[in-house]
Amino acid sequence: MSSPGSAVARRVAADARTRALSFSVLFFAVVWSNVTGYRSTYPRIEDRLRFVASFADNKAARMLYGAGHDLATIGGYTAWRAGGLLALFAGLFGILGAARAMRGEEDAGRSELVLAGALTRTGAYLSTLAGMTVGLTGLWVATMSAALVGGLPLRGSCFLALVLLTVATVYVAIGAVANQVFPTRRAALGVSAGVLGVDFLLRIVADTTDHFAIHWFTPLGWAEEMRAFSGSRALVAVLPIASALLLLVAAGALHARRDLGAASVAGHDTATAHTGLLSSPFALAFRLGRVTIASWLLSIAVFAFVIGTVAKTVEKIELPQSVRDQLAKLGGIDITRADGYVGLTFVIFVFAIGLFVCGQLAATRDEESANRVEMLIAMPYGRVRWLQSRIMLTALATTACAVVAGAAVGIGAVVSGAHMTFAQGLEAGVNVLPTELLFIGAGVFLLAFAPRSCVGLLSALVVVGFVWDLLGALLGFPGWLLDVSPYHHVAPAPAKPIAVVPALLMTAIGVGAALAGAARFRRRDLVGD
């Protein structure tokens, strides 16, 4: 018979399995594709040195990936490109995991049931952390395995995986503290994400101004200074490990002293009422999500602007024949043109905004699972109008993200002097929308027919579809297999015209799925968590 602590740990691990698997697949795909892509694209040392001389020290590239080391080697390049990007996703994974496993359990009322048994509060806290280590271990295994499959040495592969694991662990600890300090999961997520954003901005400042001393004060900076595959510094790992332990001990102490449902920062129950955004279900949904939406818009604008400025640098690169052969698998576009580079990289925004749609579905599901929808539908609005308001907010916010991405990349290209117009940037942004409408419709359908697992299933669709298209193109999968992924039907606009027929088909499927979901939601019972 299992102990109460092990039962809680298994419950936490099982609850996070879809998210952990999706992130693990993403980590594997990104690392493996960078290893194999660099080897096949730049097979000779002369090609690699030319790449390093023309691109690696570009300030805009440093904004995205950090300052690279030993980029003429496959390992050094992988640690720079894959490690720099995945460090951000590792932080996001830690934040989401802490919020779900800690404050989410309290909000759903399950913590009281657990503590009513033989398990103490400290025991429950430690068991929750033990359950979360399963997902963290999955990230480590996925990263290490991808590097090994790509042909990199065992020691360096393990260390690269450790670098990303330290970032995820630190942000688990940051999220754990935030979930003790703030009264709601939404507030804890917002503050934790804000810390990650500040961390990223400080890393940008350090890498673009060569003030590398800033690295020693931030988790992303520590990851960069560990230098996987380029003179690995194992002692630097002491900093994130010690910081995570201190934060986790502090979170445990706060958890042991506070009442369930309470927080160190009290809620504003006695504050002056602000009723400006309480006039309808849509206004309420916007009020609850406006900070998150604004954060996504700002982040997307920054990244898109950077890509627009990088496009000017890419125009100066001389591509060897091996690179052109690889690009032929991805639609045959010319990456040395600004519009070709933007068209190729904008699939990342399709993926990123797809994750935003998943977040909006999670917020919608939280309203139902926390029993807040019942109060709204008791008013003269009805459940369908509530669902419509959520769909409308997600659609409008998604459209705003796409337009902002297109406008920002267009501005970046124009400011840097790249051969691309602002209108072409907007075209790239609009090209994102049909796939996102498909994801929105799929989310509504899953919410109606599989409410408890809808967020995990949609996240799997967004992540696995992206990975499938990426690996399938590189490995030469037949067209009928690639057609399974929605990403495969996204034309590399503005390098090529928007694929009108696939765009209309994805939009129609999304609308049909949303209508079917709304019809089902009208008839089914509300389902708690």
pLDDT tens, 18-52? 888 889 988 998 999 889 888 887 888 887 887 78
Tell me: do 326 and 204 sit in the same domain: no
Q: Is 331 left (phi over 0), alpha (psi -120 to 50) or beta?
A: left
Contact at 8 Å (CB) between 462 and 358? yes
Determine, yes or no, domain membership for 270: no
Tell me: do 247 and 305 sit in the same domain: no
Residue type, 91: G
Tell me: do 297 and 425 sit in the same domain: yes
What sign has the CA pseudo-torsion 380, 383, 388, 389? Answer: positive
Query: The pTM is what?
Result: 0.77
**Range in 275-284, 363-372, 400-409, 436-445 the model is least confident about:** 275-284
Alpha helices in 150-209 (DSSP H): 154-181, 185-209
Structural domain that includes position 119: 1-263
Of the candidates 263, 286, 319, which is a domain's last residue? 263
- 333: pLDDT strictly greater than 80: no
Bond into 494 cis (ω within 30): yes
- Residue 382 CB-half CA count within 13 A: 7
Confidence at 1, pLDDT banded by 50, 70, 90: very low
Q: What is the pLDDT of residue 155?
A: 94
Tokens of 167: 């970032």
DSSP result, 263-311: -SS---TTSPP--TT-SSHHHHHHHHHHHHHHHHHHHHHHHHHHHHHHH
Tell me: do 124 and 252 sit in the same domain: yes
Q: What is the pLDDT of residue 509?
A: 96
Tell me: do 405 and 460 sit in the same domain: yes
Alpha helices in 42-120 (DSSP H): 45-51, 59-65, 74-98, 104-107, 110-115
Burial class (CB in 10 A: 0-12, 13-18, 19+), 488: buried
Determine, yes or no, domain membership for 352: yes
Residue linked to tokens 């939601």: 521
d(CA 488, CA 495): 15
Q: How many domains does the chain have?
A: 2
Q: What is the mean pLDDT of the chain?
A: 85
Tell me: do 161 and 307 sit in the same domain: no
